Amino acid sequence: MVTPEGGGGVGHRILVIGAGVMGTGITTLALRHGVSVTLVDTSEAILAAARTRIAAELRMAQLVAGPAETDPGVLDTATSALPAIGGADAVIEAVVEDASVKADVLATVSAAAPGTPIITNTSSIPVDELADAVKRPEDLLGTHFMNPSYVIPTVEVIRGPRSGEAAMAAVAELLAVLGRKPIVVKDAPGFVTSRLLHPMINDAARIVREGTASAEDVDALMTGCLGHPTGPLRTADLIGIDNLVDALSVLHKRTGDERSRPCDLLLGMVRDGHHGRKTGRGFYDYEEVFR
């Protein structure tokens, strides 16, 4: 158990699987709040890039949110989840938005540590679709941390029909340690936030494709007229165009809503490797690329 006061817990250590945009952001958040992290991905090269990114994010978090209030947690990295799983208070899975990849990862960790709360961090996949893969479905629930996780104060928490009280309580405690406000919703494709945000981004991309307005002007209108913090297309670059298309595809398949069918412009960007901030090019160009 992790406690906000820092006492009584078993080590304040979590396992984060997937060292991409979200895995590194969640790791940054945890380290700043004194929670130690073992971060897992498939290669040492990805993990080295993740360490660089986390160092930059820790500096950014300090600028945006001020100095950390506790001693930082310790960061370890590994190419296998299994050696570190025993001492983990919770496991956060943040691998790609692909139900079969997620199911494989969840099956492995749940078999190794039954009773440990397991969180799948997903934009769109219903938690209950993944629950059959885990040994104890009651250990599993979903989160939708927003990006950047070390800045955004609220976390959408998804309670699947089989998520158990103990796992829900443990994750509420973890989020309290991390200074995050949970909003618990029921299980559905895209939950609340992606169900609303992703079709809007898809429409914004269609507007650019049709030539009605440039990406800059779409974002300027949405920020200047409607109070959106960055505009939908800058948000798309921050999310990652590949991840956006994966999540739109899940939404489209599960709901049948044509607004969620990934539009040609987004599909072409994925084909061309223009995945947004993480590749240096999306709707905008970026100088700083982490991998």
Show binding-site residues.
18-23, 41, 97, 102, 123, 147, 278
Q: Tell me: does residue 41 bind ligand NAI (CB under 6 A).
A: yes
The DSSP secondary structure of 37-56, one letter per residue, reads EEEE-S-HHHHHHHHHHHHH
CB contact set of 39 (below 8 Å; sequence gap of 6+) = 16, 19, 23, 24, 27, 47, 50, 75, 76, 77, 78
Q: Tell me: does residue 167 bind ligand NAI (CB under 6 A).
A: no
Q: Tell me: does residue 17 bind ligand NAI (CB under 6 A).
A: yes
Q: Tell me: does residue 105 bind ligand NAI (CB under 6 A).
A: yes
In whole angstroms, what is the distance from residue 26 CA to residue 15 CA? Answer: 11
Write down the least CB distance from residue 144 to ligand NAI, Å.
Answer: 5
Torsions phi, psi for 269 (to 5 deg): -65, -40
Q: Angle formed by the axes of helices 264-271 and 241-255, to 10°?
A: 140
Torsions phi, psi for 288 (to 5 deg): -90, 115
* Residue number, 116 or 123, with CB nearest to ligand NAI: 123
Write down the least CB distance from residue 21 to ligand NAI, Å.
Answer: 4
Could you say which residues in the range 233-262 bind ligand NAI, by CB under 6 A?
A: 239-240, 243, 247
Q: Is 196 exposed, middle or buried (0-12, 13-18, 19+ CB in 10 A)?
A: exposed
The question of whether 198 is a catalytic residue gets the answer no
| Residue of 2, 19, 88, 92 interacting with ligand NAI (CB under 6 A) | 19
Q: Tell me: does residue 10 bind ligand NAI (CB under 6 A).
A: no
- Interaction pattern, residues 49-88, with ligand NAI; x per rule: CB under 6 A: ----------------------------------------
CB neighbourhood size of 245 (10 A): 22
* Residue number, 21 or 37, with CB nearest to ligand NAI: 21
Residue nearest ligand NAI by beta-carbon distance: 20
- What single letter denotes the amino acid at residue 285? D
Q: Angle formed by the axes of helices 232-239 and 215-224, to 10°?
A: 110
Write down the least CB distance from residue 40 to ligand NAI, Å.
Answer: 6
In whole angstroms, what is the distance from residue 78 CA to residue 167 CA? Answer: 25
- Interaction pattern, residues 200-229, with ligand NAI; x per rule: CB under 6 A: ------------------------------
26, 179 contact by CB (below 8 A): no
* Residue number, 152 or 221, with CB nearest to ligand NAI: 152
The residues annotated with a catalytic role in the active site are 144
Using CB under 6 A, list all residues that contact ligand NAI: 17-23, 40-42, 46, 94-97, 101, 105, 121-123, 144-147, 239-240, 243, 247
